[in-house]
Structures are given as C-alpha cells and as structure tokens.
Amino acid sequence: MKLVWFRRDLRIKDNPALADACRTGEPVAAIYVATPEQWKSHFVSPRQADLIQRRLEVIRQELEALNIPMLFKVVDNFSDIPVLLAEICQQYQVSDVYCNRDYEYDEIDRDNAVAGTLSLTRIGFHVFDGKCILPPGSVTTGAGKPFQVFTPFKKAWLKIIQSTDYSPLKQPGQIAPTALTKSLIDEAKEIDLRYWHEDSLSWPVDDNTIIQRLRDYCSYRVTKYHQLRDIPSEPATSQLSAYLAIGAISPRQCLARLITEHRDCFSDVKEGPQTWLSEIIWREFYQHVIAINPDLCKGEAFLCWETHISWKHDEILFEKWKQGKTGVPIVDAGMRQLNETGWMHNRLRMIVASFLVKDLHIDWRWGEQYFMSKLIDGDFASNNGGWQWSASVGLDAQPYFRIFNPFTQSKKFDPEGIFIRRWVKELESVSAKHIHEPYNKGYATGSPLSYPKPIVDHSLARKEALSFFEAAKNHKSEQRA
C-alpha cells in the first residue's frame, strides 16, 4: 500500500504527491497528522486551524469517492511524527510514503527525521514540489546564485515559465477498492480540532465554491486590480490567500486560470492581470527566500545590521496597536478588521506594520508573530517577507528612510473614510475632511469623541526612526551571503 501524507496541500487536483502515488496502481491510503502544540509554537491562528479542519472533511469525502481512506491522527509536536508514521506503515504494510515539500526550517527538519526513521525499515519516502509553480533553486542568476532582488527574479521566472508546462495535474481516477481500504474507510473517525475556538465559516471550503471564486475573479475583477487593489473599501483583491495558505488551491491553478482568461498576462503592460501575476510571483519569491535562507525561520533578519537596531519593547504601546486603539484611524481600522475577521487588506498590512516599526519603534518580530496568531491566511514565508520588507531589514525591502505617513496613506487610499467608518465606530459621524486626523485643526462635533488621541507624534517618531536606523546601518555589517 502507498500512503499519502497531507500537510499544507489540502486538495485532490494538482497534488503531485497524490498523483504519483495513484499512478503506481497499488492501493492508496492518506493521512493527516495534526500537531497542536507545534502549531501554537508557530503561532498558527485558531481561525486557520478551524479552516483546516473543515477542509479536511471535504478532502476525506473526496478521497473516499476514489476508494482512498484517510486517517486522522493527533500528536503534540513534529518530533512525534516519525515514530507514528513508522508504526502506521508497519500496521498497514505500507511500502512508500508520499508528500509535498514544505520549505520552512522546522518542517524540513521534520521531514528529514521521518525519512531517516522510515529508511530503517526500507520504506520509501518520496517528496514533491507542490507549493510553488517553480521550485526553490530553479530560478537563479547567470552565475547560478539565488536572486536577492525581486525584479530580476521576476524576469527570470517569467522567462522560465513560458517554456514550462504549467498545466495543473488532473484529479486521480478511482482506485480499485481492497478489503483493507474498505475497512479503513468504515473505521474513519471524525476529524476533531475543536479545541481551537474561532470559526472560519465565512470562508467556504468546498471545491466548487473555491474554484468558482478563482474563475469569477480572473474573468472580471482582476481587470481592475491595478486601479483598485490599494483601496481597502473596494472588493478588488482575490481573497484566495487563505486557500493558498492551506493548499486548498495551488498557485499553478491560479496561473492557469489567469492565462486562460488573459493570454496577454505575460506582457509588459501594467494592467490588472499583469499586476496580479506579479503578486503570484512575489509569493514564489518569498517561498524561495526561506528555502535558501533557513535562518529567516529562526527570527533572524536578512540584513545583519538589524541586530544593532535599538528596538523598544513597550508592552503598553504594543497592546494598543493590537487592539486598534492607537488614535490613528487607518491603523486602528486595519487592526480591528484583522481581529474580527482574521484577514486584513494588503495595503493596510503595510501601513500598520510601518506604524509599529517606524512610529512605535517596536521589534518587527512582535508584529510578525501577532499577525500569524490572527491571520486565516497565515503563511510563514509571505508573512515574514512582508514584515521584513516593512521593517527595511529584509531581502529587497523598502529603504529604511522610506517611512509611511499613516495620515497621508489614509487620505490617499480611503479618501472618504468609508473603510474607517466601517471598523472604527467611534468616528461614524465624523466628516471625510476630519476623519483621518479627528483631533487635528480644531475639529468639533458638539460632543467629545470617545476615540483616543494619537499615542505618538508621527513627525517626531519618524526623525527618531531615521536616527536609529542610520546608526545601526553604519555598523558596516553586511547582509548574509
């Protein structure tokens, strides 16, 4: 029997590990191993855990229709998995285990331990690249080195992809049932992660809805993506990120659908389809970065001089930022959206991250971990890359002297205050003229606002940030090789 180990690849279509196991013609079983204590140490959000549980129920039913039983096991940590899988392989006479590769440090360490344990009993361990369209290490400079800047990475990626078969793998066909597979299907237990207490019900988990969302987005809304993607009150983004994060849909499926609808998406014009394709490539870029730089998974910045930055560790200010009570409306609106829904608009992610790092001078790692603990679309590579970009300490990050003015950003991307009013109820009655800075220039409502005043003066905070960033950089440390 062949055993397919599902992780962050919760789909039947375009699943290389599943497809390869099914091609053998032998009986196939599947397994998912939940590791709640490990998840907590990785700040996996309860809402995402709930999404995983609901998606697993869909996967189990789809697999059963193919005569593939799915086992569900719970252990505390990754370190418990090698022995568990070895025991299951022995119990069910499994000859080979198949899975799709994860690129984070702990996950690679886990897989190496599993491979070593299984090899002791001559059980094959087969790992495939299903998380990226082009796997890490396949997009390099002319000298064979990894790219450290996005734009040349994108150019090389586009050149390779246009001579590559990017067609998604089809769903495997039905496998002839055996007495063992029938027995395992009958014995399958309910998938239970109910100790995670936040629901994800606003995110459908069935294939038809997910695929239809992709098709609807690529057929129409993507055409205006370049114009509206920075406006948080507009439904201009795909909101497929949660499904990509758990592998309910693959980036290759996204690319294939985009190309089907927009054959010119590889062109140099900067319209919606081309801009959305760039975001897909950014996701690839960050996956490649962590695979090649494992220290990034250990809390290290890409730029070594970051160790000389004098971060503040002010728990009170950090708590106000988390709760959306900073007195800066656009920041508070973004944080309240995150806390209530588990999702935040990308432009707001940049604004609130810049505010934490450049205005409050708090360590970017605090924000990175808090985001992961809340995001339904939490993905380590994208989250880490975004935070290091905002903190100006990552690979191809914004320059440290480029500091977002949250009030200017607010006026530019939410000019009428539509988004702010949706999430900051204390400002519902404030006019568009004053809503971005309600305490500036003599605003009066006839009654005092219940909304707090800004917890920091942006202009002063900006000067201080420039000073300590420059001092850190002048230590002459170089970025990692």
Q: Which of 5, 39, 157, 282 is catalytic?
A: 282
pTM for the model stands at: 0.95
Ligand-binding site membership of 64 (annotated): no
423 carries an active-site annotation? no
**Candidate list 271, 300, 311, 339, residue with the active-site label:** 311
Report the mean per-residue pLDDT for the chain: 94
- Please indicate whether residue 279 is annotated as part of the active site: yes
Q: From the candidates 364, 366, 389, 423, give the one annotated as an active-site residue.
A: 364
Q: Give the model confidence (pLDDT) of 319-354 as tens digits.
A: 999 999 999 999 999 999 999 999 999 999 999 999
User: What is the pLDDT at residue 397?
Assistant: 83
Residue 284 among known ligand-binding residues: yes
Answer for the pair 311, 357: CB distance below 8 angstroms, yes or no: no
- Choosing from 67, 77, 293, 346, the catalytic residue is 346
* Structural domains of the chain sorted by starting position, each given as residue range(s) with its CATH number in brackets: 1-131 (3.40.50.620), 132-167+207-292 (1.25.40.80), 306-475 (1.10.579.10)
For residue 346, indicate whether it is catalytic: yes
283 known ligand binder: yes
Q: What percent of the chain has pLDDT over 70?
A: 95
237 is in an annotated binding site: yes
Asked if 282 is an active-site residue, the reply is yes
Q: What is the pLDDT of residues 372-416, one digit of tens each?
A: 999 999 999 999 999 999 999 998 888 889 999 999 999 999 999
Whether residue 279 is annotated as binding a ligand: the answer is yes
Residue 194 marked as a ligand binder: no
Q: What is the pLDDT of residues 174-228, one digit of tens each?
A: 999 898 888 888 777 667 765 566 889 999 999 999 999 999 999 999 999 999 9
Select which of 26, 271, 279, 464 is catalytic. 279
Q: For residue 444, is pLDDT > 80?
A: no
